[in-house]
Amino acid sequence: MTQPESPLPQPSRHTGERWQPRDWAVAAGLFLATAPVVLWQNAQVAVLWDASYTLDSAMRIAFGQMPYRDFPFSHAPLTFLIQAAIIRLTGRVFFHQVLFAAIMGGLGTVLAWRIMLRLLRGRIPRAFTIALLLAAPLTFLGIYSILPFPSYDCDCALAILAAVWCMVRLDAVPKSLARAWARGLAAGCLICLPLFVKQNMGLPFLLAAAGSVLFLLCANRLRRGNSVSDPAATPALAAVLAGIAVASVGALLLLHCTAGIRNYLHWTIHFAAQRRMPGLASMAAIYSDPSLFWTLTAAAVALALLHLRRGAGAHRRWAAFAAFLLLAAPFLVTLSALIRYYDDPDSFGDAFVALWPFIMILAAALPVRNLVRQRNLTLRTMLPLILLAAIHGAMLSQQLWGSTYAIWPLLAILIADLLVFLSGLANNRNVNRWFVPALAGVASVTLLVGGAFYTLSEERLSYINLPNGPVEHSAFPQLAGASAPGPYLPELDELLRYAAANIPRTDGLILLPGEDPFYFITGRTPQFPVLLFDKATDPYSPEQIAELVRARNIRWLIVKRDLQIKEDVTPDRAATLELLLKQFAPVAHLRGYDVYRRP
C-alpha cells in the first residue's frame, strides 16, 4: 500500500525567537571552528598588495585626511573607517587587524547558519541538522577564510548577512505594531549599509531589496480583501521603506557635511565604474561553462521526476531516488575532481567554482515560481532575487572566478532555499524523510572537503608569488602577526631600517608601485594623493604624476623590484619611471628596492 501524502509543515509564526542550549553550543562551535582558520591563514601568508592599500588608506584617514575631498578614493568608506578606528584605539599592530578578521569571520558563519535555520525551520524535516550541515563548510569558506585580512568585500558580505537576517525575521507576526515598525526600520537601515562598504555589491542589493518591498506592498494592496493577503506584513514592509529612506538621507547629509556628495559620487560611482566595470560579454561568460549543459539537463529531468503525481508508491520512490542521483551528480562530480586535480589546485579551483552558475540558475527560477504559486507573499519570497543581485554585483569586480571569495555564505543560503523548494515539490512523507537530508549531506560534504582544499591550497591567492620554503616574519613590532614565505618581509625590514636612518620624517616620498604597508608601519603622514599605483586607484597619467611630484615637493622615490604580486599592474610603468627619473638621482640599491632622492 502506498503511504498517504502528507502536506509539508507550515512555517511557525514564532520560529525560534528564543535560543536553546543547543543553539548556543552550535553557534560557539561554528565560531570557534571558523576563527582559527582565519588565524591559520594569516600565519601562512600575508598578501602585501591588498593589505597595504587597506592599512595605509586607513592610516591617512586616522591622520585626519578626508577621502574623496583630500585625495582620490574609489572605494566606499566603511571598511577603512573601521580600520582607522582600530588604529586610533589600539595602535599600529597588524595582529589587531588579523584578530578583527577572525572575529568577523566567525560571526559571519554563525549569522549564515541562523539565516538558513530560519528559512528551513517549519518547512522541511530535520531543519536544525540540515542548517548545521550547510553551515559547516563555511568554516573554510567563510567571509574571511580565503582572504584572511581586512577587506571591503568581506565586510560587505557580513553587512549583507546582517540585513538578510533582519529581513527573514519579518515573517514572524510581532506582538505589537511598534515591534513590527522597529523590525522593519532596523531591516531598512541595514539594507543600506552594504552600499557604504562596497558599492558594486551594496547598490544592486539595495535596489533589489527596495524594489521587492515596493512590489510586495503593491501586491498586498491588490490582494486586500481576500484570504491571500497578509495584513500583518504591511506595517513591517512600510517600515522597511522608511528605514531605507532614513538611512539614505542620513548618509547623504553626512557626506555633504564631510567629503561632499559630488566628490563621493565622482570617485565611487563614475571613476570606479570607468576603471573596473566589465563588459556584458565578460559577465555572460560565467554562464558559458560546458558543464552547465549536462548539469542543468540532469536538474531538469530530476525536477520532472519529482513532479510526478501518478503511479504506485514504489514507482514514485524509484523516481525520487533517480531524481536524487541526478541532483547530487554535479556535487559528486565536483568532489571527484579533487582526486583528478589534487596536484593541480588551479584546475580544481575552476571545477569547484563552476558550481556557482549551476546553483544560481536554479535559484533564479525560485522567485518566479514563488510569485506564481505562493499565496502569502513576503520578503522571504523575493530573497533569492535579492541575493542573486548582490552576487552578480560582486562579480562586477573580477567576474565569477575571482569574486566569490567572500560570498560563499550567500551560496549556502541559496542552497537552503532550493532544498525548501525541492521538499515542497516532492511533497511525500516517505520521500521527504530521506531526500532533502541526503541531498543536503552531499552538498555539505562537497563544499566542506572541496572548500578545505580550495582554501588551504591558497589557490585563490595564486596571483602572488608563494615560494617553497619557510615562512618569514618581520622584526618590526608593527607587523606582528604578518607572515609570508619568500624574501619579502626581510627585504621590507631592510627598507624600513634605511628609511629610519636616512629619510627625514617630514620629507615627502612615493613608493612605486606601493605594495608594502609603509605608512602603517612607520606612522609617517602620506603627502602624495596615490598610495597604490593600480588602475583602480590611480587616476593620473604619467605626466600628471610627474607634475604632482614637483608641486608637492616629493623628495624621495622608492621603487620596489622584487614584487610579491606576480604581475606589476602599475599603469604606464615605463613612461612613469622615465619621467620621474629625470627628477631623481639614485642613492641606494637595497636587496628588493631602489632608492632615489631629488637633488
Residue 14 has pLDDT above 60, yes or no: no
Give whichever of 268-277, 349-358, 393-402 has the largest mean pLDDT. 349-358
Residue 229 has pLDDT above 70, yes or no: no
Q: Are the C-beta atoms of 420 and 123 separated by less than 8 Å?
A: yes
pLDDT over 70, % of the chain: 90
Write down the pLDDT at residue 228.
41
List, for residues 143-175, the tens digit of each pLDDT value.
Answer: 999 999 889 999 999 999 999 999 998 876 566
417 dihedral zone (left: phi>0; alpha: psi -120 to 50; beta): alpha
Compute and round to an integer the Cα radius of gyration of the chain: 26
Considering only the C-alpha atoms of the chain, give the largest distance between any 2 of them, rounded to a whole number of Å: 96
User: Across all residues in the chain, what is the average pLDDT?
Assistant: 88
Q: Are the C-beta atoms of 205 and 194 separated by less than 8 Å?
A: yes
Write down the pLDDT at residue 431.
63
For residue 588, report the phi and psi dihedrals to the nearest 5 degrees: -155, 145
Residue 288 has pLDDT above 50, yes or no: yes
- What would the mean pLDDT of 480-487 be, rounded to a whole number? 93
Write down the pLDDT at residue 181.
87
Candidates 253, 190, 197, 251; CA nearest to 80 is: 197
pLDDT band at 12 (very low <50, low <70, confident <90, very high): very low
Which of 396 and 229 is assigned the larger pLDDT? 396
Q: Are the C-beta atoms of 76 and 201 separated by less than 8 Å?
A: no
| DSSP labels, 512-534 | ES--S-HHHHH-PPP-SS-SS-S
Identify the helix (H) or strand (E) that includes residue 128: helix 127-135
Neighbours of 27 (CB within 10 A): 19
pLDDT band at 8 (very low <50, low <70, confident <90, very high): very low
Which of 399 and 139 is assigned the larger pLDDT? 139
pLDDT band at 286 (very low <50, low <70, confident <90, very high): confident
* Secondary structure letter of residue 171 according to DSSP: G
List, for residues 432-483, the tens digit of each pLDDT value.
Answer: 678 889 999 999 999 999 999 999 999 999 899 999 889 999 999 999 999 9
Pairing of strands 471-473, 483-485: antiparallel
Q: Are the C-beta atoms of 259 and 68 separated by less than 8 Å?
A: yes
pTM of the model: 0.93
Residue 415 has pLDDT above 90, yes or no: yes
Candidates 529, 526, 531; CA nearest to 514 is: 531
List, for residues 304-339, the tens digit of each pLDDT value.
Answer: 888 775 445 556 678 888 989 999 999 999 999 998
Residue 254 has pLDDT above 80, yes or no: yes
Amino acid at 175: K
